[in-house]
Amino acid sequence: MTGESSPAGLWITLEGGDGSGKSTQAALLETWLAGRGRTVLRTREPGGSDVGVAIREIVLHHRGDIDPRAEALLYAADRAHHVATVVKPALARGEVVVQDRYLDSSVAYQGAGRVLDGTEIRNLSLWATGSALPDLTILLDLDEGAARGRLDTSRTRYDRLEAEKADFHARVRSAFLGLARAEPDRFLVVDASGEIDAIAEAIRARVETALDA
């Protein structure tokens, strides 16, 4: 007797600057996938595991400076544990993982933003995760000025990265776009200044293709 095979797992990450709408689109994508009968694990970095919760508090809310290399190592430690204990088991179960931020954020924020070597930052994350890469990365691209305006209307307090100056966020955006150009098969770049529903539709179209692959 031959049973119907279970669907393969799919790993989707959402990237972009602060204020680009990642959390909103992740929630909409989760709802849409669940409506199609898929089991969805929605997670984030940092903070998607028990260990990650503690690391998130340090890297985003520590009062005082953190050396850029120490910050990069903290993110890599969070990533190593998160991928090993959360992401890989979910994929093995055939689930769709919808994740807010992954290694591309480290290359953009700790590499370009903190002016460290982006290749070293990427290689650190690849080592930490056994070279694990997502099937699809959605980059929500938004001008840093527009993103700041969104944050100003929705925040009363900024975390350590949100509070950085405009030139920091300009470097981050430029790095994200460079990463997308380097890996066009993995990335979908979406103009995040558009309407929420239009952005969600563009994301769904690409995800549907990935589900059918």
- Give per-residue pLDDT as tens, 90-112: 999 999 999 999 999 999 999 99
Contact present, 137 and 13 (Cβ < 8 Å): yes
**Does the domain at residues 10-212 carry the CATH identifier 3.40.190.10?**
no
Name the one residue in this structure whose structure tokens are 């990935």. 210
- Angle, in degrees to the nearest 10, between helices 68-82 and 50-61: 160
The response to whether 193 counts as a known ligand-binding position is: no
pTM score of the predicted model: 0.92
19 is in an annotated binding site: yes
Average pLDDT over residues 196-209: 98
Tell me: is residue 149 an annotated ligand-binding position: no
Q: Is 21 annotated as a binding residue?
A: yes
64 is in an annotated binding site: no
pLDDT digits (tens, 9 = 90+) for 38-66: 999 999 999 999 999 999 999 888 878 89
pLDDT tens column, 107-149: 999 999 999 999 999 999 999 999 999 999 999 999 988 877 7
State the Cα angle at 21 between 28 and 13, rounded to 5°: 70
Which tokens in the block code for residue 17? 């600057």
Find out whether 23 is annotated in a ligand binding site.
Answer: yes
| Cβ-contact 176, 16 below 8 angstroms | yes
